[in-house]
Amino acid sequence: MDTNTFETLIAEGKTIEPHDPMPEDFRRSVLRQIAQHAHSEIIGMQPEGNWISRAPSLYRKAILIAKVQDEAGHGLYLYGAAESLGMDQGEMLERLHSGQQKYSTIFNYPMLTWADVAVMGWMGDGAAIVNQVPLSRCSYGPYARAMARICKEESFHQRQGYDAMRVLANGTEEQRNMAQDAVNRWWQPSLMLFGPPDTDSPNTARSMAWGIKRHTNDELRQRFIDLCVPQAEALGLTIPDEELIWDAERGHYNSGPLDWDEFWANVNGAGPCTRERLARRVAAHEDGRWVREAAAAYEHQIENGALV
Ligand code: 3HC
């Protein structure tokens, strides 16, 4: 393999394309990240999909349906990008179902009220945008290009979430309390979307050297906190962190510690809703078996010239 070509492309800030030579570790690392990202999109459809029939108005329902459909689309672009690295979607799904590949911990928390749907859009998708915009400059071309389109849609998701929060925050006392309760429960999971602290992130250094990631987990988490705190203030809601304070010298907010034991338990398969999410995913896959079989039979007939 001509590693020079790979090293040169990386050094010149050019993208690596599927036909370019690449070290096996690079291929495996990009595939790992894209697969976990794709799985997050499709598992993420579940908690919000559960609220479609309970959305408070036709307007909110139409938006939520569009958002959940967007997530299915994001999953498909990402599976497509991952397939270009040599693993097909069927195998990735098997690995998801058996727990070998991960999805984001944020989707393992229950969505108890309508305010949770709103806060997931505002904070969850807000965090996703901060994480994903730099990925549109990722060194692996198909991933970077998928990200450009995904980020446009994520930005709509964040705005609709903020808008739904604004309505609750300016509503009745009960609605305000519901909004605050949701912020209290989702702040920490949203910050954990950025991954473990840099000191406990085994993949960051190499992924940064190869341009797969452009910023560390802590850098992006800080960026999100700095963006989100003034938004919460504009809504009149309180961020549940007593140590949160503006540090004029650093030009950033200082914040308190997160419960990393809870995070790692969640990553390792013991999140509050992990079992439910995976069981639902496996059941949906089984329900779709006849469609996959029919499509394969049709393709087989085309290949054999039985259908013209
Ligand atoms: N949830 C689950 N697993 C996580 C995680 C999280 N929030 N954060 C980290 N991990 C896992 C990593 O996958 C890694 O495990 P592995 O080595 O077995 O794959 C391990 O914890 C150590 O973490 P690292 O920091 O070393 O891993 P990375 O360098 O890959 O960084 C990441 C983690 C920041 C999540 C990075 O992979 C990334 O940016 N991924 C792409 C974006 C993505 O997947 N976002 C998920 C949310 S999906 C979404 O935004 C949808 C929207 O609708 C909400």
For ligand 1, what atom is nearest to the CA of residue 220? 34
**Each residue of 262-301: b (16+ CB within 10 Å) or e?**
bbebbbeeebebbeebbebbeeeeeeeeeeeeeeeeeeee
30, 33, 106, 151, best to mutate for ligand 1 pocket (most atoms within 8 Å of CB): 33
CATH class of this structure's domain 3-304: mainly alpha
Q: Ligand 1: distance of its center to the CA of 37 in Å? A: 7
The average pLDDT across 94-123 equals 98
Model pLDDT for residues 145-202, shown as the tens digit of each residue: 999 999 999 999 999 999 999 999 999 999 999 999 999 999 999 999 999 999 999 9
pLDDT at 53 over 60: yes
- Cα(192) to ligand 1 centroid in Å equals 9
Find, among 257, 185, 267, 162, the residue nearest to 218 by Cα. Answer: 257
Give kind and range of the element (H or E) at residue 47.
helix 24-49
pLDDT band with cut points at 50, 70 and 90 for residue 306: confident
What spacing in Å lies between the alpha carbon of 267 and ligand 1's midpoint?
9
Q: Are 149 and 77 in contact (CB under 8 A)?
A: yes
ipTM of the complex: 0.98
Prediction pTM value: 0.96
| Residue 1, pLDDT above cutoff 90 | no
- State what percent of residues in the chain have pLDDT above 70: 98
- Compute, in angstroms, the gap from residue 303 CA to the centroid of ligand 1: 40
Q: How far is CA 238 from CA 17, 73, 183, in A?
A: 45, 34, 8
Residue 139 · residue 209 · CB < 8 Å: no
- Residue 149 Cα to ligand 1 midpoint, Å, equals 20
Tell me what pLDDT residue 305 has. 86
Ligand 1: residues within 6 Å at CB? 32-33, 36-37, 40-41, 44, 71, 102, 104-105, 124-125, 128, 131-132, 192-196, 201-204, 207, 213, 217, 267
252-254 and 245-247 strand pairing: antiparallel
Give the tokens for residue 98: 């058996």
Every domain of the chain and the residues it spans: 3-304
pLDDT tens for 211-262 read: 999 999 999 999 999 999 999 999 999 999 999 999 999 999 999 999 999 9
Gap from CA of 104 to ligand 1 centroid (Å):
6
Q: What is the pLDDT of residues 62-89, one digit of tens each?
A: 999 999 999 999 999 999 999 999 999 9
Residue nearest to ligand 1 atom 45, measured at CA: 37
Q: Which atom of ligand 1 is nearest to the CA of 36?
A: 44
Q: Write the CB contacts of 73 (distance below 8 Å, at least 6 apart in sequence).
A: 153
Sign of the C-alpha dihedral computed for residues 68, 72, 78 and 82 taken in this order: positive
